[in-house]
Amino acid sequence: MQKTPARRRKASNWKVYVCLLICFPYGLFLMWRTTRWHLAVKGLVTACFVALTLAVLLPLTSPPDRLPGGVHMVNAERDVEVFGPELPEALDTNYIGYGTVSISNGPVFTEEEIAEPTYVYANDNGQFYHRLDCEYVQWYSKKYTLPVAYYSGYGPCEKCQPPVYTPGMGG
Ligand SMILES: [Zn+2]
């Protein structure tokens, strides 16, 4: 007869664990109501789940800061913030718990997008570089970035009017 209460309590503890995993609000409720754990343990478990919930919910409930179709541009701006001299404040305002992981992944991706150079096409025997859709572009035409074409001595084709390179403009 003495064993029965202990086993019962153990069984209800097991139930609490399962409920915490499956539906933690109910599990927390059970924990506070049925277990005799130390108050600090209960508080710690509750705090953990509350923190976890906030980390999941906060990114969802925060207002959308991405304009339709402007995903890359918004990320690019965030990029500048993260890597700029304002680093500590920017990190602080962006801090939303563990949800920041996706944001810190963003800059690596968008930096490549921004660095995408302009390509032009030129023939070995020609004097001009062209847009891809120009009639002078052949299968043997070579692909250059705009600065490389410029410094290789090619000039912009008058027919297809590719972008003109100005030294120092980058890209
Ligand atoms: Zn051309």
**What distance in Å separates the CA atoms of residue 120 and residue 137, rounded to the nearest whole number?**
10
Does residue 76 lie within any of the structural domains? Answer: yes
20 and 44 both lie in a single domain: yes
156 Cα–ligand 1 center, Å: 7
Partnered with residue 39 across adjacent β-strands are none
Q: Is residue 139 part of a domain?
A: yes
DSSP 89-127: HHHHHH-BTBTTHHHHHHHHHHHHHHT---EEEE-TT-S
Q: Is residue 66 part of a domain?
A: no
Domain span at 92:
71-114
Q: Both 129 and 103 in a single domain? A: no
In a domain, 56, yes or no: yes
Read off the pTM. 0.34
**Rounded (10°) CA dihedral 61, 67, 71, 75:** -70
Task: Return the closest-CA partner of residue 27 out of 8, 5, 12.
Answer: 12
Per-residue pLDDT of 76-134, as tens digits, reads 555 555 555 554 555 555 555 554 445 555 555 555 556 678 899 999 999 999 999 99
Q: Kindly give the distance from the C-alpha atom of residue 140 to the centroid of ligand 1, in angstroms, as a whole number.
A: 14
Residues 6+ apart with CB under 8 A from 55: 96, 97, 98, 99
Same domain? For 105 and 122 the reply is: no
User: Is residue 75 located within the same domain as residue 97?
Assistant: yes
CA distance 155 to 128: 5
State pLDDT tens for residues 12-63. Answer: 678 777 777 788 778 788 878 888 888 888 888 888 788 887 787 777 766 6
Number of domains in the chain: 3
Report how far ligand 1's centroid is from the alpha carbon of 113 (Å): 26
